[in-house]
């Protein structure tokens, strides 16, 4: 699995970044891939090479905006024992705290941040004894995770809906008064809060799974998105991006710890009885099965159903959103 970590580098690279832009512009204009042709700009050839490859090979690039300094693997030295990354040609030393990795693929350096793309060992997955089903909640919490074998249930994110409503109202008021910049600020603030919450919730779910030798089953949201009927229902329209973010965080944390993940078909997970499989009745927070008489919290019932569902795939078709993304939340350790 490839992940990108973002670190503040605390160095002024404006001179190099300006040269990098010139190199990219020259490359695009003259269609050259040879760093010799751009030597006169004074950028290190290892970096020029990467920039030329990136911009010239991509035929879609018409104009060059902000160019980052792309440092290839061969120009990076790693001291894993002291958690130090050195880029000699830029005289840059970065201290890192993120978990162990196999190797660094490349580092992209911008004005403030260095984005470090690493390969991490995805594996040493254990054989799960149980499965935890993770359901997106409908009645208060963000998420309910349930493990049917033990009957253990965790409910997380109680205040999320409240926070969301609060910020939505603030935004509405500001919008009316035409304060668009403020609206954006509030929006950013809310997504930081949601992101933080998602980190805590995913941590809790993955740690619980690991300590009980369980795997985690998630709903395949890709199917849901395509399904109009689902998409329109309250359950799936509410903050669907943030739930998707939660899933990707669960997947990523699980992979690091070897916790097996699988995706299931979300059809009927909220209507079926988790005891006998018959379609039951939902009344607000309560689920009742007319066939076997089972009564449960509706979201707990759904979480159990997810845990009991046969799985479709080992990874979400969209899970690559996290991979290689430069704003991976987990990893923004400044």
Number of H helices, E strands in the chain: 9, 16
Q: Which neighbouring-strand residues pair with 77?
A: 86
Q: Which residue's CB is nearer to Zn ion, number 11 or number 294?
A: 294
Reply yes or no on whether 108 is catalytic: no
Q: Residue 322 CB, nearest distance to Zn ion (Å)?
A: 37
**What is the distance, to the nearest Å, from the Cα of residue 57 to the centroid of all Cα atoms in its chain?**
28
Q: What is the largest CA-CA distance in the chain?
A: 80
Number of residues located near Zn ion, criterion CB under 5 A: 8
Q: Which residue, 25 or 288, has its beta carbon nearer to Zn ion?
A: 288
β-pair type (286-288, 214-219): unpaired
Say which of 135, 190, 219, 296 is annotated catalytic. 219
- Smallest gap from Cβ 60 to Zn ion, in A, equals 55
Quote the least distance from Cβ 289 to Zn ion, whole Å: 3
d(CA 32, CA 19): 16
Question: CA-to-CA distance for 84 and 100, rounded, in angstroms?
Answer: 12
- List 9, 21, 217, 275, residue binding Zn ion (CB under 5 A): 275
289 binds Zn ion (CB under 5 A): yes
The stretch among 112-120, 147-155, 202-210, 285-293 that binds Zn ion (CB under 5 A) is: 285-293
User: Do 215 and 128 contact (CB within 8 A), yes or no?
Assistant: yes
Question: With contact defined as beta carbons under 8 Å apart, do 142 and 39 qualify?
Answer: no
Between 121 and 290, whose beta carbon lies closer to Zn ion?
Answer: 290
Encoded tokens for 284: 């607000």
Q: Which stretch binds Zn ion (CB under 5 A): 70-78, 98-106, 290-298, 325-333?
A: 290-298
Name the minimum Å distance from CB 305 to Zn ion. Answer: 11
Query: In the set 33, 231, 279, 292, which binds Zn ion (CB under 5 A)?
Result: 292
Interacting span for Zn ion (CB under 5 A) from 3-11, 31-39, 65-73, 268-276:
268-276
Alpha helices in 67-179, H assignment, sequence order = 160-176
Asked whether 330 and 199 are in contact (CB, 8 A), the reply is yes
Is the Cβ of residue 13 or residue 287 nearer to Zn ion in the bound state? 287
Q: Determine which one of 149, 288, 318, 323 is catalytic.
A: 149
Return the number of the residue (146 or 329) whose C-beta is nearest Zn ion: 146
Q: What is the DSSP string of 243-273?
A: HHHHHHHHHHHHHHHT--EEEE--TTTTTB-
Q: Which stretch binds Zn ion (CB under 5 A): 18-26, 154-162, 214-222, 275-283?
A: 275-283
Cα-Cα end-to-end distance for the chain? 22
Is residue 102 flagged as an active site residue? Answer: no
**Quick one: 43 or 273, whose CB is closer to Zn ion?**
273
- Provide φ and ψ at 238, rounded to 5°: -70, 115
Distance CA 329, CA 6 (A): 9
Taking CB under 5 A as the binding criterion, the range among 32-40, 174-182, 210-218, 284-292 that sits at the site for Zn ion is 284-292
Choosing from 85, 90, 249, 273, the residue that interacts with Zn ion (CB under 5 A) is: 273
Binding stretches for Zn ion (CB under 5 A): 273, 275-276, 278, 289, 291-292, 294
Q: Which residues are catalytic?
A: 149, 219, 299
């Amino acid at each position: 699995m490839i992940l990108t970590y973002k670190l503040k580098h605390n160095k002024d690279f404006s001179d190099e970044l300006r040269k990098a832009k010139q190199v990219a512009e020259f490359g695009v204009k003259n269609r050259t891939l040879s760093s010799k042709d751009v030597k006169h700009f004074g950028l290190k050839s290892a970096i020029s090479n990467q920039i030329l490859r990136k911009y010239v090979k991509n035929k879609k690039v018409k104009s060059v905006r902000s160019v980052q300094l792309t440092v290839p693997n061969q120009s990076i030295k790693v001291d894993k024992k002291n958690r130090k990354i050195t880029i000699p040609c830029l005289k840059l030393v970065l201290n890192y705290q993120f978990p162990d990795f196999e190797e660094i693929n490349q580092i992209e350096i911008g004005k403030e941040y260095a984005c470090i793309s690493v390969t991490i060992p995805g594996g040493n997955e254990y054989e799960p004894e149980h499965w935890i089903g993770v359901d997106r909640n409908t009645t208060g919490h963000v998420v309910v995770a349930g493990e049917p074998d033990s009957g253990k249930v965790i409910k997380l994110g109680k205040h999320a809906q409240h926070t969301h409503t609060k910020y939505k109202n603030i935004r509405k008021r500001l919008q009316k008064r035409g304060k668009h910049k403020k609206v954006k600020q509030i929006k950013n603030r809310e997504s930081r809060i949601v992101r933080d919450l998602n980190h805590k919730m995913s941590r809790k779910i993955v740690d619980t799974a690991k300590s009980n030798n369980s795997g985690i089953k998630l709903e395949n949201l890709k199917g849901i998105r395509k399904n109009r009927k689902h998409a329109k229902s309250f359950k799936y329209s509410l903050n669907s991006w943030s739930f998707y973010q939660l899933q990707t965080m669960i997947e990523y944390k699980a992979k690091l710890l070897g916790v097996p993940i699988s995706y299931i078909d979300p059809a009927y997970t909220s209507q079926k009885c988790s005891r006998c499989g018959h379609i039951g009745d939902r009344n607000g927070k309560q689920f009742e099965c007319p066939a076997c008489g089972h009564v449960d919290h509706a979201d707990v019932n759904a979480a159990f159903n997810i845990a009991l569902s046969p799985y479709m795939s080992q990874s979400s078709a969209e899970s690559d959103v996290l991979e290689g993304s430069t704003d991976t939340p987990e990893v923004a350790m400044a």
